[in-house]
Every structure is written in structure tokens, then in C-alpha cells.
Chain A
Amino acid sequence: MGAISKLAARPWIWSYLGLLVVWLATVTFTGGKGGAEILSAALSFGTFTVIVGLGQMFVITTGPGNVDLSIPATIALSGSLAMKVMGGADAMLLVGLVVSLLCGVAVGGFNYALIRLLRIPPIIATLSSSFLVLSTAIAYGRGLKIKPPPMLADFTTARVFDIPVLALVVAGLAVAMSVLLNRTIYGRSVLAIGQNMRAAWLAGIPVERIRFLTYLLSAVLASLCGFVLAGFSGGASLNMGEEYLLASIAVVVIGGTSVAGGRANVPGIWGAALFMFLLVTMLNTFGASAGVRLIMTGLIIVAVITIAGGDKPQR
């Protein structure tokens, strides 16, 4: 088979095609101006969606019904906690990072405890835990507006050759996650559980330990996102995670990961995150009103998922 049909068989190709089309449309409209700037901005903002999308991807891949809705709350809690601990001092940078990640470990563990011990479906468990987490963030960070340490702010906004450094780091993270998914026992186990949990158990996979690690991973990545996002946007706020609830799920699905579980796709997450940002930019450039913008975003996402075709029968 030729290179083209081989490429077309890869589910992530559609998100990249989509982003190319949208970018070309935008650049054509502006008469060639600002093309590079738009891409650079997309890399900056898309980065945060990628971080949480990676975690969400692992969760969704463990099978139907598995989804982490506590991501926005975790971002808010981790961001405000870290800002408060660091108090704007560079010296406390590492301590802040550790606190932020520990916060993710706690949320992930709590989510899993609800799912496993109380037998609550993941969608309800993570949604209800997100209320608790957000309340903690409110109680703890009331009225606080602390600037991030200068080093963190510099790092998250730094660029080399107009490419955000953070985007490069997260690209590395994505590569690491891809290796984790495809080349480790943990990744194989996630894929197996997503296809058939009972068969996975009978094949000797420690199903519950893997699910625990997966919710933990998702929450830790959400915390990491909260940490860098607070640095990037000059401080934490309680609603800073809001848009990442749907975004984290949308990039997973558009990126070619199967919602039914068992099949995941890392490159697609990057493509989808950039595509989503460029889509909104394009509609803004066209001067669409807020209502039209939302409708178009919805329609285009549906169209991309339809074209990408979801689960084709394999041979």
C-alpha cells in the first residue's frame, strides 16, 4: 500500500488536516499577514490543553464510562495552592511544584477511592469530587491574587525562535506518554482493560491497580497544568480550569482515541489541541459573533469526528 493510504489509516491525520485547512483559511482571509503569529499563539495556548488531554486520554482508554471530570477543579486547586506556597519567591519554586503534584496525587487517589470503595460510576465520582476540590480551593485561596515567582513566569512565557519553550517541553512530555502507552506494561494493560476488562483480568493484568494509576496520572497531569498555567497567566484564579473540562475530552476524541476504549492516540492530542485553538481564531478573524462562533465550533467538531470515522472494523 502506498504512503498516502498508510497515512489515511492513521486516525490522528484528520486533526492535522483540519488544522492545516483552518490555518490556510485564516491566513487567506488576512491576506497572508500574521500566519506565524497565529501558529505561535496556538502553540502557547494549546500546550495546556495537551497536558490535561494526555491524562484524559489514558482515563478514557480504560473503557466505556471512564472519564475524569475533576480536571478543572484540580487545575484551580493546584494552581492556587502552589501560588500561595511559593508566595512569589523563586527559592520556593521546587517546593511549589512538589505541593502542586502532591495535590494531584491526593485528588487522583480520592477519585479512585470513590470509584472503587463506594462503587460510584466514574462520571459521578469525579464530578462530585470536583465540587469538594473546588470548595477546598475557594476556602484556601479566598481573595488571593499572588503573582507567580518570576522564574516560573519567565519560563512559561519564554520563546526560542518564536516557539514557546513550554510547548517544546510538553512535546517531550507527549513523546514520553506515547512511549508509556505503547512500550510499557502499564500502557499495554490500559489498552487491554479498555477492550475487555474481564479478559484482561483473566490474562493476569492487575486491573484495579492499573485503573488506580490511571486516575492518579490524570490528576497529576491536571495539577501540572494548573502549576504552569498559573505561571503563564500571572497568578491562579478559581475559574482558570473551566474551559479544560470539555477541551480535555474534545482533544482526545478529535485526536482519534476511541471513546469505547482500548485504542489511544498521542499525536492526535497535539493536532486536536492546535486545531481547536485555530478554529476559534479563524472564527474571530472572520468577525463571527459569539453565538455563531459557538455554533460553528460545535458543527466543525462534529464534522471532524464524523470524517475521521471513529471505529472502522479492523481485519
Chain B
Amino acid sequence: MPEAPLPIVDFSNVAKSFGAVRALAGVDLTVRPGECLGLVGHNGAGKSTLMNVLAGTLSPDSGEMRILGEDIRQRYSVALAHQMGIRCVFQELSLCPNLSVAENTRVVHPTIKGPGWRGRAGALILGKLDEIFPGHGIQPGDHVGDLSIGKRQMVEIARAFTVTAAPLHLVILDEPTSSLDAVTAGQLLQYMRKAIGQGASCILISHVLGEILDYSDRIVVMKDGGVVAERPATGFSRDTLVAAMGTVARAPAAGQAAQAADRREERPLSVRVRPKGRPGGAALEARRGEVIGLAGLAGHGQTATLLQVFRAARGRDPDTEVTGAVALVAGDRQTDGIFPLWSISRNIGVRSLRRMLRGGLIDPAAEAEMAEDWKRKIGIKTPDMNDNILSLSGGNQQKALFARALGSDADIVLMDDPMRGVDVGTKLEVYDLVRAEAARGRTFLWYTTEMDELKNCDHVFVFRNGRIVADLARAELTEEKVLHSSFTEDA
């Protein structure tokens, strides 16, 4: 074998179990300097666990771990990982919401100290933000809690690339683009390639297969806690990649939606909403049994509009008409969705308690039955629905939130970009479920930043600066039109 430079990461046979769940079943992983390693697999395939081991937040049950040639298995920790130049951008954001952007930067750079540290930390992060995301609109003094999830993600990413005392060898990007819109995601991936050109390495985890195929040098596919395929990126196509993950590729169901559009006006109205605060935009109308897409760049009023509908369903609002019970599927799981002390089953049942009453009391049998029912329907990967919700991987937690809404009595389901961090197989299953539920008369309002998902909608409304600027029926929907309306000032 020719002499190769020392690999940054060299894991062999790393295993980790959580109780009965075998998250990693002996994984080998190598990352060489100056390469981007794409890592793909279903929810619960073990990607996040492997990255947590690499970041030092989890210690494996067995296996060999070498970083830069050093055997660090026994004394590995988060601090050591940082010292050795390994940085992570995790799916669940790790910024402190009560601190400013500059203060959050200081947290990972202990060498910034003495008078004026805030200013220096601010300059450091601002410089990096400008470099990666030109035109980001974030100030170092902004409190992280006040930023949208997309901007928080941008800060988190920029922070991982800042350098002071410790070197930078490897950045782990776990679903970095899931909260970003198309433009900022592109900026990030461009920057990542530039950093790699300068000698850094990256591990890129994404469910958007196009990103993985276009931007990584080598791709590792994981399934059920093990590596099932590893090849240069050029050796994969979209179809072979999907096949390697164990999902059968298929064409999107394009024909289904079209028929609904024809008789639109005859159907009873479910929701009519005009976004508040920004006069002059169009109104969004959803009719019974329709799947309505809310498109546009991230943070342009889509979530606010969904919440406006959610509020109006309970109270009165002259701008908003809602004719039925409403349920919401949160995209920001930790803030808006999960009850962390509860089991999976309780998390699913909380929206449907009224239906479980027997003689005024909640019937545990009815609750368990609903949980098992949805475990089957939506394929939640767990040995026991009575386990804590946090024992699930991120994508499976999201499935539980879908089950909560779809299992409820709601006539109208609001979805707030709910597919963040969800794998391709699950997405396809959920698309089917949404279509089937729509056919049964449920109405869906679906905010998404992904073009593929808009193709599942009967009708798409494009948002810009809090207004609805375009109204596209299924037949006239193209990516160009959506992008065009998202950007031009006068539609």
C-alpha cells in the first residue's frame, strides 16, 4: 500500500448499546485529511450515535479509537476532542438561548479573555458568518433565543469553523442544511468545499441525497448500527445510494394530486387566512381534503401563519377562518413538540386524551392501544412504547409527533417544516400517510423548504417577507417559479 498521510479518525469495531437497543454493532470508520465523508442511513441507523462517540459525548462499550494516530479510547472526552481539533454541529442545536451570539462563541474559545472579550468574540464570529453566509443579518449582540431556527443553525455552523488556540482538523455537520433554506444551504456547502481545499476534513450527514452526492468525496452508508457500503462518491448514483440504504427507489406520485385541483371550488372551505402585520399580500385558502404547501425562503412568515391558524381555531380572528379542529406537527422538536419526561406512548396520546376517557378517567388500555396502533402504522423503531421518548433517534421522535397529530381528531393538520432530520424512507411513508388522510377529508397546511415535498401538494403559496406573493396550482408548480417568487421584489 502506498504511504498515506495519518488519518484524522481511525475507528475499528466500535460498539455501543442502549439497554436492549444495539445502536452501533462494531463500526469501522476512517477520515483522511482533506476529504469530505458523506454519511447516510435511515433514522436509527446509528449515525448520530457514531458522531456522538466521535465528539466525545458518548463513550463506546468496546472497540478501538485512534485520533491523529493516537490511541485515545480510554481518556476520550468532549474537551479532548476539541483540543484535537474535532468540532461538531449537531442536529439538536447546542447554543445557549439566553446568551448572545458573541457570548456563545466565547463558550468554546476559553482563550478569549480579559477586558474586551465580548468584542473580540463578536468580531471572530461575525467574520466567520460573513465569510460563510454573506448577507446573514445576524448581530453579535443578538440573543440566540430571539433568532429563528435557521439563523441559530447558521451561528452554530459558523462557530464550529472559528479557530483560536485549538487547531481545526475535522468538522462534523449533522444535518446542517435541514433548518436552512436553499440559498444559505448552498453557501454552507460551498464554504465547506473551500475549507476542505485548505486541508480541513468534514463529515457530512444529510438526508438530502443530492448534497451528499455532489459535495462529498467518499460515502459511507449505515444500516442497523453497521456500515453496509463504502465507496467514492462517484461510485454512487441517487438510485444505488437509496438501494444501499435499503429503501426501494420509486418515482414521486405525480398524478394523484392533479385531479383534486379540478373541482377545487366545489369543496367546502377549511381555512382562509391572510397573514397579519403585512398588508397587501394575497390570502391563503385551503379546501377540505387538500394538501396545501407553504413555500419560500426559511423564516418569511410561514410558521407565523400556521400559528395564526392555530390560534384562530380556538378563538376569534376576523382575518382568519378555520372550520374544524386543528393539530400541529412541530418541526423544532425540542422547543415545540417533545415532552422529555414522558414515554413515547404518552407523547403520542396527549392530543387525544378526551377520546381515551372511560367514566371520566383516562383508560391506560386505550392509551397503550393507540400507541401500539401508531407504532405499527408509522414504524416507530423501539422495543417498548413505554420507554422514554428521548430513547428514540431524532427521526423516530418526529414520527411520534406525526402520530400525535394524525391520531387526533383534528380535521386540519398544520405541519411546521416537520421533515427536518427525517430519512428518505420515512419521508416517503409519511407522504403516503398524508395523501391517504387527505383523501379521507383531512386538510393539510404544510410549510416546507424542500422542493421535493412541495410536489406532494395540491396547491402551493409562496411567502416572502411575511406576505403571500404567489399562488401556484399543482400543474403550474416548478422549482423555478417558487425560487423566482421567493426572490424578486415585485411579483
B330-359 near A? 1/0 per residue, CB < 8 Å: 100001111111100010001101100100
Whether, in the assembled complex, A259 has its beta carbon less than 8 Å from a beta carbon of chain B, the answer is no
B351, B361, B390: the one within 8 Å of A203 (CB) = B351
A123 at the interface (CB under 8 A from B): no
Identify which of B310, B314, B388, B408 contacts A314 (C-beta below 8 A): B388
**Contact yes or no, A195 B342, CB < 8 A:** yes
User: Are the CB atoms of B327 and A179 closer together than 8 Å?
Assistant: no
B391 in the interface, Cβ–Cβ < 8 Å? yes
Q: Does A196 contact B (CB under 8 A)?
A: yes
- State in angstroms the CA–CA spacing of A205 and B354 once bound together: 11
Which residue in chain A gives the minimum CB-CB distance to B391? A315
Residues of B within 8 A of A196 (CB): 335, 338-340
Cβ–Cβ < 8 Å partners of B341 in chain A: 191, 195, 258, 262-263, 314
Whole-angstrom CA separation of A106 from B213 in the bound complex: 66
A199:B351 contact, CB within 8 angstroms: no
Q: Which residue of A is nearest B363, CB measured?
A: A183
B409 closest partner in A (C-beta): A204
Per-residue CB contact flags for chain B residues 295-332 toward chain A (1 = under 8 Å, else 0) read: 00000000000000010001000000000001110100
- Whether A192 sits at the interface, judged by CB under 8 Å, is yes
Cα A227 to Cα B408 with chains together (Å)? 44
Could you tell me the distance in whole angstroms from the C-beta of A192 to the nearest C-beta in chain B? 6
A202 at the interface (CB under 8 A from B): yes
Partner of A199, one of B18, B339, B360, B391: B339
Q: In the complex, what's the smallest C-beta–C-beta distance from A181 to chain B, in angstroms?
A: 11
| Docked CA distance A61–B419 (Å) | 32
Nearest Cβ distance between residue B60 and chain A, in whole angstroms? 17
Query: CB of B404 within 8 A of chain A?
Result: yes
Q: Shortest CB–CB separation between residue B99 and chain A, in angstroms?
A: 18
Q: Which of A204, A262, A314 has the most CB of B within 10 A?
A: A204
A204 engages B351 (CB within 8 Å): yes
A260-315 with Cβ < 8 A to chain B: 262-263, 314-315
A188-B362, A315-B388 known; A204 vs B337 contact (CB < 8 Å): no
| Contact A202-B361, Cβ < 8 Å, known A188-B350, A314-B341 | no
| A-B pairs under 8 A by CB, number | 66
Decide if A192 touches B350 in the complex (CB within 8 Å): yes
User: Using Cβ atoms and an 8 Å threshold, which residues of chain B touch A195?
Assistant: 339-342
Selected contact of B336 from candidates A185, A202, A314, A315, CB within 8 Å: A202
B432 contacts partner chain A, Cβ-Cβ < 8 Å: no
CB under 8 Å from chain A, chain B span 403-422: 404, 408
Q: Which B residues are in CB contact (< 8 Å) with A199?
A: 330, 335-339
B362 touches A198 (CB 8 A): no
B452 located at the interface, meaning its Cβ lies under 8 Å from any Cβ of chain A in the complex: no
| B479 within 8 Å of A (CB atoms) | no
Q: Are A204 and B18 in contact (CB under 8 A)?
A: no
Q: Which residues of chain B are near A200, meaning CB under 8 Å?
A: 339
Q: Quick check: B357 and A185 within 8 Å, CB to CB? A: yes
Min Cβ gap A313→B in Å is 8
- Measured CA separation A200–B336 after assembly (Å): 8
From 193 to 215 in chain A, residues with beta carbon under 8 angstroms from any chain B beta carbon are: 195-196, 198-200, 202-206
The verdict on A184 contacting chain B, using a C-beta distance below 8 Å, is yes
A183 near B388 (CB under 8 angstroms)? no
Q: A263 vs B340: C-alpha distance in the bound complex, in angstroms? A: 11
Tell me the complex Cα distance, A263–B346, Å: 13
Kindly state the separation between the CA atoms of A258 and B390 in the bound complex, as whole angstroms.
Answer: 18
Residues of A within 8 A of B330 (CB): 199, 202
Q: Which residues of A contact B116 (CB under 8 A)?
A: none
Take A314-B388, A314-B390, A315-B388 as given contacts and tell me if A198 and B335 are in contact as well, using a CB distance cutoff of 8 Å.
yes
**How far is it, in angstroms, between the C-alpha of A191 and the C-alpha of B336 when the chains are bound?**
16
* B2 proximal to A (CB < 8 A): no
A180 closest partner in B (C-beta): B361
Interface check B387, CB cutoff 8 A? yes
Find chain A residues with CB under 8 A from B391 CB.
315
B314 CB contacts on chain A under 8 angstroms: 206
**In the complex, are the beta carbons of B387 and A315 less than 8 A apart?**
yes
Q: Any chain A CB within 8 A of the CB of B19?
A: yes
Shortest A31–chain B CB gap in Å is 46
Q: Shortest CB–CB separation between residue B77 and chain A, in angstroms?
A: 18
B354, closest chain A residue (CB): A185
Instruction: Give the residues in chain A near B353, CB-CB below 8 Å.
Output: 185, 188
CB atoms of B19 and A315 under 8 A apart: yes
On whether the beta carbons of B361 and A184 are closer than 8 Å, the reply is: yes
Closest CB-CB distance, A213 to chain B, in whole Å?
Answer: 15
CB-contacts of B358-392 with A (<8 A): 360-362, 387-388, 390-391
**Given A203-B351, A315-B18, A315-B388, A184:B362 Cβ within 8 A:** yes
Q: Of B339, B342, B360, B388, which one neighbours A184 at CB under 8 angstroms?
A: B360
CB <8 Å contact, B340 and A203: no
Q: If A315-B19, A315-B387 touch, does A202 touch B310 (CB 8 Å cutoff)?
A: yes
Which single residue of chain B is at the shortest CB-CB distance from A206?
B314
- Beta-carbon nearest neighbor of B339 in chain A: A195
Query: Complex formed: what's the CA distance from A205 to B314 in Å?
Result: 11
Smallest Cβ distance from B365 to chain A, in angstroms? 12
With A184-B360, A192-B350: A262-B18 Cβ-Cβ less than 8 Å? no
User: In the complex, what distance in Å separates the CA atom of A191 from the CA atom of B350?
Assistant: 11
Residues of B within 8 A of A192 (CB): 339, 342, 350
Shortest distance between the CB of B219 and any CB in chain A (Å): 32
A184 to B326, CA, bound (A): 22
A179 touches B337 (CB 8 A): no
Contacts of B387 in A (CB 8 A): 315
List B contacts of A206 (CB < 8 A): 314
A116 CB to nearest B CB, Å: 16
CA distance A92 to B357 in the complex (A): 39
Q: How far is the CB of B447 from chain A (nearest CB, A)?
A: 14
Closest to A187 in B: B362
| Bound-state Cα–Cα, A314 to B351, Å | 23
Docked complex: A138-161 residues within 8 A CB-CB of B? none
B361 and A183 contact, CB distance less than 8 A? yes
Cα-based distance from A314 to B350 in the complex (angstroms): 19
Cα of A185 to Cα of B391 in the assembled complex, Å: 25
Taking CB atoms, residues of chain B closer than 8 Å to A204 are: 326-327, 351, 408
Q: Which of B151-167 contact A (CB under 8 A)?
A: none
Q: B163-180 vs A: 1/0 string, CB under 8 Å?
A: 000000000000000000
**Chain B positions 17 through 45: 1 when the CB is less than 8 Å from some CB of chain A, otherwise 0:** 01100000000000000000000000000
Assess whether A202 is in contact with B337, with CB atoms less than 8 Å apart: yes
Across the A-B interface, the 9 shortest Cβ-Cβ residue pairs:
A183-B361, A314-B388, A195-B339, A185-B353, A262-B341, A315-B391, A183-B362, A202-B328, A203-B350
A interface, CB within 8 angstroms of B: 179, 183-185, 188, 191-192, 195-196, 198-200, 202-206, 258, 262-263, 314-315
B residues with a Cβ closer than 8 A to A are 18-19, 310, 314, 326-328, 330, 335-342, 346, 350-351, 353-354, 357, 360-362, 387-388, 390-391, 404, 408
9 more contacts with CB within 8 A, not counting A258-B341, A263-B341, are A183-B362, A185-B362, A192-B339, A192-B350, A195-B339, A196-B340, A198-B336, A262-B341, A314-B388
A–B complex contacts, Cβ < 8 Å, 15 sampled:
A184-B361, A184-B362, A185-B362, A188-B350, A191-B342, A192-B339, A192-B350, A196-B335, A196-B338, A202-B330, A205-B350, A258-B341, A263-B341, A314-B388, A315-B19
